[in-house]
Amino acid sequence: MPIEDHTLINEFPEFKDDIHQLKMDDAHFRKLYDEYNHLTKAVEKIEQEIVPAATFEEEKLKKQRLQLKDTLQGYIKATRLAAEKA
């Protein structure tokens, strides 16, 4: 069973409005966002034992999700900074 909610808005509640706006306006961000959600669902299915997987496979997916989360956070911050400077 998952320990916590790993949705992007739950991970970064302070960027809720930014995330929504980027999903609406930025196709690249939306693609990354969708990939993050896909990885999160895959991990959750493994954690809930809906999909069998070896531990190393689960860890690999979690590392990919973490890297993508870092990328998305950087994207959000860079977009916010650019908007503040404009």
Q: Helices 55-85 and 16-25 meet at what angle, rounded to 10? A: 90
- Report the number of distinct structural domains present in the chain: 1
**What are 30-52's pLDDT values in tens digits?**
999 999 999 999 999 999 999 99
pLDDT band at residue 81 under the 50/70/90 scheme: very high
Give the model's pLDDT for residue 3.
54
Q: Identify the domain containing residue 51 by its residue range.
A: 22-85
According to the model, what pLDDT value does residue 29 have? 98
- Share of the chain residues as helix, strand and coil, in percent rounded to the nearest 5: 80, 0, 20
pLDDT digits (tens, 9 = 90+) for 6-32: 999 999 999 999 999 999 999 999 999
